[in-house]
Every structure is written in C-alpha cells, then in structure tokens.
Chains A and B, each alone.
Chain A
C-alpha cells in the first residue's frame, strides 16, 4: 500500500509543478537588454525617459556607403521599438557639404517636445589643419516629426569652427548651447606658452529657435587671470530667467598655482549672457580634472548640483583615463564636497551622472578600460559619493561605452550605451533592478 502511494505521488508530482506562461510573463518585463540599429554601426548618445514610461533615444548611424546621420528612436517601457527616424543630409540649408553628423544632446522642452543638438562635420581646414564643425538644432514632437530648427553657421562666419557639447531648453521657449572652439581667436587670451588651443563659449537663442540672443565667451576668467589653453563648456542650467549657471572645465592657472592644469569650473551669468561675478573651481593640483557631466540634485536629496568628471594624473595626461572625480554644490553653487569616488578601482573615463532618489544617492556611468577594450561601468554611490556597488556591461575584450543613465520611479535603472557586438556596434538599452542586476 505504501509503495502504491509513493508511486501515485511520483506520478502526480509533475502535474503539481507544471509551468505556464502566466508564471513568468510579468517578471520578464522587469529587466532586459535591447539592441537597436540597422545596417552598419550605430552609437548611443543620449536618452530621455518620459513620464509615461516611453523612452526617446538619440544616436548616430553609419551605414555602408553613406555618411553618418542622426538617429532618433522611441521605445515603450519594455524596450520595444515604436519608431525610428533619421535626420541630417549631405548638404546643409545653404547647400554646403556635410560630411557627417555628430549628435550630442537630447533635451525635453516645456511644451512637451524635444530638442536635438548635433555637430555637422565639414572636413579639415587646409590652412589650420583643424576639423571644421557647425551645429544644428532640430525640434521634434513626441512622434519624431521635425517641427522646427536651425543651423548655426560659425557665428555668421566670425568663427572658423565650434563644437557644441550640450543644449539647455529654457522656460522662455529658447535654448542655450555650450561647447568650445579650436578657433582660439574667438576669445582674447593673454599670450600663452604654449599657445591657446581652445576657447569655450555659450550662446543663447530666442524662442523662434533661430535668433541669437547673446554670446558669452570664456566665462570664469576671473578665477585666474592668465587665460587657458584647453577648456570647454559642458552644461548650462537655468537658475531663473535672469540667471544661468555654466559648468565647464579648463586648464586656467588658478590663483596661488604655477601650473596650468585642468579643473572643474562654474560661474554664473545673466539672462543676456553677462557674467555676474561668481566663479569657482574644483580639482587637485597634481591632476587634470576634465568635467564630463552635471546633474541637478533633487530637493529630497539636498538640492544643488553634482559634477562628475575624470581625474587624470598630470604625469599621464596623454591618457584619457583616470579616476572618477566629483564635486557637489548647493543651490547657490557653494562647494559642499569634492574628491574621487571612493571604494572602486579601475581606470575610467567619466560619462554621465544622474540622481537616485529611490536609493538616496547618485548613479554614475563611466567607461572602464580593460586589458583589451572598454566596458560600461555603472556605479551607485551614497550621498557622500562612496560607491555602494558597481557592475560592468559589455564584453570584456570589446569596446562598449556608456551614454546615459536614469532612475525609474520604481527604483529600477535604465542605462543607454553603445555595445560592441562581435562584428558591429549597436545602441543598447538596458534595464536593471535597483542593485544593478538583471533580476526581478
């Protein structure tokens, strides 16, 4: 009798443990890796996570036999493609050749649309042997249709080139771009040895998206008085319609120092681009701090601004990798703390930073140099910038790079990057849990 009962139990057991679709369907939506692209190679640049959970992704695409173009993608919350559109052409509005598009930034506007910022590469200036860029701004609606835009032709030909790094949509409907130019003549620096190489700028545009409202150059000049060789504007924030904060980096010689070495910089200016007198820096004397990204810190995390960049020892400045360096400032730009991100090791190039409200800290994205390539490193820090955990994504001996990171309302994390697969680069969108794991 006992043996019969054992037999019956054994025979019934599989029916008790039968797996069905319903057992798994919800869980599979909580994490994913999704690749986007077409023929050729595609790279990720930036993303915006909308309130409805959809995601706007900015990238570029290089197809065989065609020049590089802007690629815009929209996905649903599970990473499924909703639409994909390309922008750019071989000639600009004035009929001049555009060899390649280098999209840089994607920003939402207050009217529910988006601004795409892209540098247009025109080739090499034979006189100076320098790359020549113009930039364009395209305004699109949530369906990806172009509804306006402009092309900037070297500041009405006064500048030979400029390279923009970011765009800031203003409450007025206009926008500000910032970057630098290798045309060092755009700003008058003192005579330097070696000579000045780059000058930084910010340009404000009216709400018609075409009219230049103002141009400001070399902000932060009051920090030091001896000019700079290298530097670039990274991000401008609208503190109010009458005050903007510009975050940048340069190798400006600081008061009390004898060397030119790069540091983070911040300064403020008025609604019409006039410096308002505040400026500050962050960095160490024995290394070059190159600013990569700035995010606004939500009020629940203390408010203010968080800067992230790469700190490269002066002795190895020809490298592009080093430690991750941060500077935290309050709403009035006063420095609260700075230093290297502790409790992690490796050689990194900083990419971007985002606040983590769910876990009281920050999410940092960097590219980590491995023995044979680069991988994407996602780091979660506490409010003191101490690393709590970090994870790598990408194949160890391939060259993958991070582009953007955002925390979702449920604490999960969305990461955008370029993944080098076995034979091609593709835009990769990855969703992980609040511990950085591909788990429920």
Chain B
C-alpha cells in the first residue's frame, strides 16, 4: 500500500521551490560579477548578451540599477548613444533618485546623466488632523436691547484631505487639495435680562479646495517647506444647539433660581453663505522614507468672506415658503424661541495635519539638458590633466 503524500513532504517541496529565486538571484549576481570582470578586461561586446537573461527575469531594484549602469557605460564605450541612453533611463527607473558623482563615475556617464531627470511631475499626498476655529466679528448683532457679555470659545474639529502637487522644479510646486473639514465654535452670552446665560454651539462641515504655491527643501532626510495660497470653501452643513439658563432672583427664598433648557438641533445652513473664500499660509517638514515621505503640517487660514447670510439670519426666505406656515415659522425659532441672532463674522482656522506623500517619479530625457556645467567640468579636468 502506497502511503499518501504527507504534509512534511509538501513543506519540503515548497521550501525547495522558495530557494529557486534565491538561487536565481545568486546566479545573476555571479553573472553581473563576470560581466564587470569582462568590462574591466576591455571585453565590451559580449556584456549586453551576458546580462540579457537576468534582466528579463525582473531582478530587484538594486541589481537592476548596477546592471544597467554597467550597460550604460558599456554602450558609451561602444559608441552606441542610443543604447547608453536607453540603459541610463532604466537606471532611473530602478532608482529614481540615483545621482552620478563626478568623483566616482566616469565623466561621460556624468555627462550622459545630465540629459535625464526623474523628478516627479506630480506628487500625491493625504493628510488628517485637528483644527480650531477663530471667529473674526464684522458686525455685532443681538436680540438683547441692553448690554450683554459676549465671548467666542474655541472648539476642536478635524479635517482629512488629499492633494496633488505639480512640481515646477525640485523646490517649487503648485499644490491643489481637496479637504473635508469639520469645524466648530461656541458663543457664550451672559447678562441677558439681568442675569441669564446662553451658549450657542455651532458645528459646520465644509469641502475646501485650496490652491497654493509651495517652496520645499530638495536635500536631506528632513525637508522643511512653506506655502501660501487661497481656498474655495463650500459649506455642506451647519447644525447648532442652544443652551439657555433662565435665572431669576427670588426674594422670598433669597436665592437665584435657574431654569435650564437645551434646544433640539437647529439647522443653520440656510442662515449661512454656502460659498466662501480664504487665504492661508503654512509650513511643515517632511521626512524621507525610501522614495516616499511622511510629513507634519501647520496651516493658518484667514476667512475672507462673511459666513452669515444676513438676509436669512432670522427667517429662511430662500425656501419660498409662505411666511404664515409652520415650516416657515420654525426657521425663526433660533430668534423667536431662543433669543439668538448671529453676528456677522469671518472665520479663521488653525489646522494641524500629519500625512503621507508619494511622489510619482517619472524618469525621462530632458527637453533641454543642463549639460553646460558638465562640459565646463570636463574641460576643466582636461586642462588639469594637460598641466600635469
């Protein structure tokens, strides 16, 4: 009786299969080393054929970088500029941030590299973080005929967003974002009717489309940046609740007696201007993680427009409802039940965000190569050799 294949047997088979890439890797490493020996020996013609099979096996980035560098140098010596350019392009595909070194690399390779770049044309990013809203009052309004004490308090919100940078150069870019922002603030009033207190808590959701010009450091593990821009802001929703403390002094009990009430959620979007604009400045630092980045960002946004729809600040006239219907009356509850009317104000925001950046590297031949400096360097080296 033949015993069925057991689990240990399969494990052995798969383990042996797993070794094949490693065997292949080691074999290609040997091939590359042989090719380097042939190159050093001046046997250039056979090198492309030697490396071809391994290149077709899709080796790792590091091996491909070294192999194509060798090929580029080989084609340069074989006076095959097409082959050299094609090979150097593959070097950049394997490692978009590869840079030749005049001290280390042959000068013709350095000259060849000056015709190429892999700087990303576009860079993608995503971020998340908290924010606070700062109210900038334009006109003070209220329903209380006598003086009251009014204060705005900070409340936390949050934002998430995605962005794309169009990189004009290594340092300069234009950034377009799409952000979802939840922001909030609280207005506290005290002293109504001698001693009452109230609190108006407003929560807003926005879609913001900021556009900015950014300047970034191009070198180093930590790369600071700064930007300035403006934003188109669309209000998606606005909900408010009002807490009211009706306090009365009772001489019979010699105490201040309080009746506390909280409103249901009041829909305030109709009392707002849905479209707003803002201007912002900001900066941060990005940290290089291989070919990507993580970043921390601080932004201050100056609201440029009055957020309150002055015409709808008591009743909602936009709905087109008859002013004697219950639905229309309900839109005035903020004023006629809870005694509230908005100041006219602009809203600033302070955003703190952390996020991730993924540059879309694009190795390509430059339309206009920056090779004059390289030529000057070659000429300078040649002059030095003559002097020697």
Q: Can you list 21 residue pairs at the A/B interface with Cβ under 8 Å?
A: A7-B174, A11-B228, A14-B278, A14-B305, A17-B277, A24-B139, A24-B306, A25-B139, A28-B310, A33-B143, A34-B145, A35-B339, A39-B193, A39-B247, A64-B257, A80-B145, A390-B324, A395-B336, A421-B336, A436-B323, A440-B310
Contacts of A398 on B, CB cut-off 8 Å?
Answer: 336-337
CB of A311 to closest CB in B, whole Å = 19
CB of A400 to closest CB in B, whole Å = 7
Considering only residues 1-59 of chain A, those with a C-beta below 8 Å from chain B are 7, 10-15, 17-21, 23-25, 27-28, 31-40
**B251 is an interface residue with CB less than 8 A from chain A:** yes
16 further contact pairs, Cβ within 8 A, besides A24-B139, A35-B144, A393-B336: A19-B138, A19-B346, A23-B138, A28-B139, A33-B335, A34-B143, A38-B193, A64-B252, A66-B251, A370-B326, A389-B323, A392-B324, A396-B330, A422-B337, A437-B323, A439-B317
How many angstroms from the CA of A46 to the CA of B323 in the assembled complex?
25
A392 touches B323 (CB 8 A): yes
**B86 is an interface residue with CB less than 8 A from chain A:** no
Q: Decide yes or no: A79 and B346 within 8 Å by CB, A33-B336, A419-B336, A421-B338 being known contacts.
A: no
**B237 is an interface residue with CB less than 8 A from chain A:** no
A7 touches B326 (CB 8 A): no
Contacts of A395 on B, CB cut-off 8 Å?
Answer: 329, 332-333, 336-337
How many angstroms from the CA of A40 to the CA of B328 in the assembled complex?
29
* B interface residue numbers (CB < 8 A to A): 138-139, 141, 143-146, 174, 192-195, 211-213, 228-231, 244, 246-252, 257, 259, 261, 263, 277-279, 304-306, 310-311, 313-315, 317, 323-324, 326, 328-330, 332-333, 335-339, 341, 344, 346
How many angstroms from the CA of A33 to the CA of B313 in the assembled complex?
11
Contacts of B338 on A, CB cut-off 8 Å?
Answer: 421-422
How many angstroms from the CA of A40 to the CA of B341 in the assembled complex?
22
How many angstroms from the CA of A440 to the CA of B313 in the assembled complex?
12
Contacts of A23 on B, CB cut-off 8 Å?
Answer: 138, 306
Q: Across chains A and B, which 6 residue pairs bring their CB atoms closest together, nearest first?
A: A14-B277, A65-B251, A423-B246, A81-B145, A64-B250, A395-B337
How many angstroms from the CA of A47 to the CA of B336 in the assembled complex?
20
A393 touches B194 (CB 8 A): no
> Chain A residue with minimal CB distance to B248?
A39
**A429 is an interface residue with CB less than 8 A from chain B:** yes
How many angstroms from the CA of A31 to the CA of B311 in the assembled complex?
10
**A438 is an interface residue with CB less than 8 A from chain B:** yes
How many angstroms from the CA of A84 to the CA of B193 in the assembled complex?
12
Interface of B is mostly: mixed
Of A63, A75, A368, most B-chain CB atoms within 10 Å: A63
The contact string, 1 if C-beta is below 8 Å from chain B, for chain A 131-164, is 0000000000000000000000000000000000
B194 touches A38 (CB 8 A): yes
CB of A341 to closest CB in B, whole Å = 14
Contacts of A123 on B, CB cut-off 8 Å?
Answer: none
A438 touches B336 (CB 8 A): no
> Chain A residue with minimal CB distance to B337?
A395
Q: Decide yes or no: A10 and B230 within 8 Å by CB, A377-B324, A392-B324 being known contacts.
A: yes
Q: Decide yes or no: A28 and B251 within 8 Å by CB, A13-B230, A14-B304 being known contacts.
A: no
> Chain A residue with minimal CB distance to B326?
A396
Contacts of B277 on A, CB cut-off 8 Å?
Answer: 13-14, 17
How many angstroms from the CA of A317 to the CA of B311 in the assembled complex?
42
**A241 is an interface residue with CB less than 8 A from chain B:** no
Of A11, A15, A370, most B-chain CB atoms within 10 Å: A11
Q: Of A20, A27, A377, A419, which is within 8 A of B310 by CB?
A: A27
> Chain A residue with minimal CB distance to B252?
A65
Q: Of B229, B231, B323, which is within 8 A of A391 by CB?
A: B323
How many angstroms from the CA of A10 to the CA of B231 in the assembled complex?
8
How many angstroms from the CA of A81 to the CA of B145 in the assembled complex?
5
Q: Of B230, B323, B341, which is within 8 A of A33 by CB?
A: B341
How many angstroms from the CA of A403 to the CA of B338 in the assembled complex?
21
Contacts of B326 on A, CB cut-off 8 Å?
Answer: 370, 396
